[in-house]
Structures are given as structure tokens and as C-alpha cells.
Amino acid sequence: MAGRTRSEVEAEIKETLGLVPHFFSRIPDDLMDYEWEIFKKLELGETLIPNKYKELIGIALHSETKCRYCTLFHTEAAKLFGATDEEIQEAVHYAKNSLGWSAYLNGVREDYDDFERELGEIKNYLASKG
């Protein structure tokens, strides 16, 4: 570990979260400090993307991966960071819509180069409108 024992890391987790979630018990000793630091920084820390938006991204992502653990985690975390039920619904609907278009474009085998060119034209047109 990066200088800290499992007990020291678990003490910090308990201080931060109120308990040590069981899933941390399965992390090997030599990775525990590292995994907690990553979790703490990305899930709880302030990064370039505000926490509420990171969690809404997580909800949308895991609605597709169909991971019920991650969907539950990110939904509760989003609420903790101030997301409304309406924002959560919009994030999931956005994922559904995006996945639908992905299925369609791949299914009809849309030419990627044409798609990229047209997207560039649309971007330039919309940017020129202000």
C-alpha cells in the first residue's frame, strides 16, 4: 500500500462515509489505499465536472451497462449532490435517446465519413448563427 495500512484506510473510510462498505473488504490489501484514493477523488471530490453532473453521467452510463449497483449508487449520489428527480429522468431519457440513435446509425450502416462531414457542416452553421 502507499504507506497506509488497511486499518488506517478503513478508519478514514468510516470517518468519511459513516461505515466501511462491504465491497471495500474484497479489495486486496496492496490496492486498498490506491482504490480508496481514486474513489474519494472521483466520487466525492471536487473535479472539473461538478459532482451532480458526474453522477448524472453515471446514471446515464449505467442505465446502459445495466449495472444495478452502479445505477443505485449514482442515483443516490446525484440526489445527495442536489439533482432533482426530473434531472435524473432527463439524464436517463437522454441515454435512451442516444442509444437509440446509435442502434439506428449502426444498423443502417450510415457512412461514417458522410456523417462526420455533415456534422461539421451543422456545427459550423449553428456556430455562425450565434
Q: For the segment 117-127, what is each residue's pLDDT rounded down to a tens digit?
A: 999 999 999 99
CATH number of residue 64's parent domain: 1.20.1290
pTM reported for the whole predicted model = 0.84
Q: How many domains does the chain have?
A: 2
Does one domain contain both 55 and 3? no
Q: Which of 2-11, 14-23, 68-77, 99-108 has the lowest mean pLDDT?
A: 2-11
Whether residue 5 contacts residue 32, with contact meaning beta carbons closer than 8 Å, is answered with no
CA dist list (Å): 77 to 19, 84, 106, 111: 16, 11, 33, 39
Residues 10 and 30 placed together within one structural domain of the fold: yes
In this structure, the answer to whether residues 94 and 33 fall within a common structural domain is no
Residues 35-91 pLDDT 10s? 999 999 999 999 999 999 999 999 999 999 999 999 999 999 999 999 999 999 999
Residue from 23, 46, 62 nearest 31 by CA: 23
Q: Which domain holds residue 6?
A: 1-45
The fraction of the chain above a pLDDT of 90, given in percent, is 97
Q: pLDDT tier at 1 (50, 70, 90 boundaries)? A: very low
84 and 104 inside one domain: yes
Both 97 and 123 in a single domain?
Answer: yes
Q: Coil, helix or strand for 95? A: helix
* Predicted local confidence at residue 85, as pLDDT: 98
At 80 the pLDDT is 97
Same domain for 3 and 67, yes or no, is: no
- Residues 99 and 78 reside in one and the same domain: yes
